[in-house]
Structure 1
Amino acid sequence: MTHEFDNLKAIVTGGASGIGAAAVQRLRALGASVAVLDLNPAGAAEGTEALRCDVSDDASVAKAVAAAADRLGGLDVVVNNAGIGAQGTIEANPDEEWRRVLDINVLGIVRVSRAALPHLRKSGSAAIVNTCSIAATAGLPQRALYSASKGAVLSLTLAMAADHVREGIRVNCVNPGTVDTPWV
């Protein structure tokens, strides 16, 4: 039986739980080999390459992406799913919390994508999918910081798509609404 993603190699950040775990399950059902990059990879699905990765640390990202590409035999798909939430109005979160959320939710995507691009350029099926949120386009109460981070993810995705289309690397994002995950 042939599957749509047979012989494709994917990494999913934050793939040990929630939306990331669902993405891993779907990719595997479609035939892909998957590496889970997560702060706590112990929860990764059996049959995946489970690697510890802190998306807020460039060295951790570079090491995990290189190890995933090595173990999988290349990279075709990157799902940038790792992220954290925050609640409150702009007054509720101190500057340090703003920096932390933006570092993980936005710069985490930058770090992982930057490390994966040399591998993706070798693929005839290269794709990057960023997990965004409905919060990027809808004014949600008590979600100023989270919404700002996801608005940045949406804009970053559009810019990355424009930058890499001529290389044959597709870049898109998904904007889920509220999902029953550990954070919610």
Structure 2
Amino acid sequence: MTRTILITGSSSGIGRASAKHFHEQGWNVIATMRGPEKETELTALENVLVTRLDVQDSASITTAVDAGVERFGRIDVLLNNAGYGAYGLLEAIPMAKARRQFDVNVMGLLETTKAVLPHLRANGSGTVVNISSIGGKVTFPLGTLYHGSKFAVEGLSEALHYELAAIGVRVKLVEPGIVDTDFAGRSFDFTNDESLAEYQKLVGAVLEGQAQLGAAGDKPEVVAETVYRAVTDGTDQLRYPAGPFAAELIAQRAATDDATFLGGIKNQFGI
């Protein structure tokens, strides 16, 4: 039986690369995005359903799941990929933006998962893959909201893996490092207030440091391959660093005390 995966945030980056990779492996793909009317490449592929899903719109989640089941008969895997990054000075960030960060990265993930779980439970099998980040294991300056949301994804996924084992469903966390996508242009939202003069030296140092890090990013296809391995390796392994940078940094954090590791981050950014 051909298996089916539902992917959120398939219009670009990791989601798009994953949709193409699973399709190449012979899977049915429900490729969801906020603006499916703009999509042309994925809609031309056989056994790919492109449909609307906005993780902040409950009705669209239900409609997308129902459409996928109607088209392919079942859902075997959910890939929660849709994400958003709010960075900047906490004093300057409006609370509406803070709430959006958690609505997209945490609440939207939970609601989409809840919508798919009845189908996985009926199957008695399946996998939920949550795209986390090295930002769910380590932090960088000015990332209070983003890192808070990804640490939440790590925690809820770890707890959920106990729960879903009761219905034969595995939970997987994929942790990319710096990825060469248009995340910075489409989903990276930076807030500063130059009148907060005390912070401006920090802001300048962090923006310069992030630009240097971004130049060495992995391709989204590397993450897509890691997602596929997580889904198909037949194990109960929970966490999968995606790419050498992520694996090295996560291992370094696990082996290093707080003072040493945080001091190294400060030195890296020159703060």
Q: Report the TM-score, using the length of structure 2 for normalisation.
A: 0.63
Paired letter, 2:15: G
Q: Deviations over 1:143-172 (max 9, x none)?
A: 111111111111111111111111100011
Is contact 1:53–1:60 with CA below 8 Å preserved after alignment?
yes
- Per-residue CA deviations over 1:116-160 (Å, capped at 9, x if unaligned) read 011111335400001111111111122111111111111111111
Structure with higher helix content: 2
Greater C-alpha radius of gyration? 2
Contact 2:131 2:174 in 1 (8 A): yes
The residue type equivalent to 2:21 in the other structure is: R
> Where does structure 2 lack aligned partners over 5 or more consecutive residues?
185-271
| 1:30 pairs with 2:25 | yes
Greater mean deviation of Cα atoms: 168-177 or 39-48: 39-48
Q: Which amino acid aligns with 2:17?
A: A
Q: Which amino acid aligns with 1:113?
A: T
Q: Tell me if the contact between 2:124 and 2:167 (Cα under 8 Å) persists in the aligned partners.
A: no
Q: Which moved more, 1:82-91 or 1:38-47?
A: 38-47
Distance 1:90 1:123 in 2: 44
Unaligned regions of 5+ residues in structure 1, if any? Answer: 1-5
Once residues 168 and 50 of structure 1 are traced to their aligned partners in structure 2, the CA distance between those partners, rounded to angstroms, is: 28
Post-superposition shift, 1:29?
Answer: 1.9
CA contact (8 A) 1:24 1:34 kept: yes
8 Å contact from structure 1 (residues 89, 141) kept in 2: no
Could you list the per-position Cα deviations for residues 30-63 of structure 1 after superposition, in whole angstroms to 9, with x for gaps in the alignment?
2210011110223362321011111111111111
- The ranges of structure 1 where at least 4 consecutive aligned residues each deviate by more than 6 angstroms after the TM superposition are none
Residue of structure 2 in register with 1:3 after alignment? none
- The within-5 A match list for 1:139-158 is 139-158=139-158
Tell me the residue number matched to 1:71. Answer: 71
TM-score, length-normalised on structure 1? 0.92
Residue pair 1:7, 1:31 contacting (<8 A) in 2 also: yes
Which letter does structure 1 place at the counterpart of 2:93?
A: N
Give the CA deviation at 1:17.
0.8
Aligned-pair Cα RMSD in Å:
1.4
TM-aligned CA deviation for residue 91 of structure 1: 2.4
- Aligned-pair identity in percent equals 39
Report what 2:122 is aligned to.
122
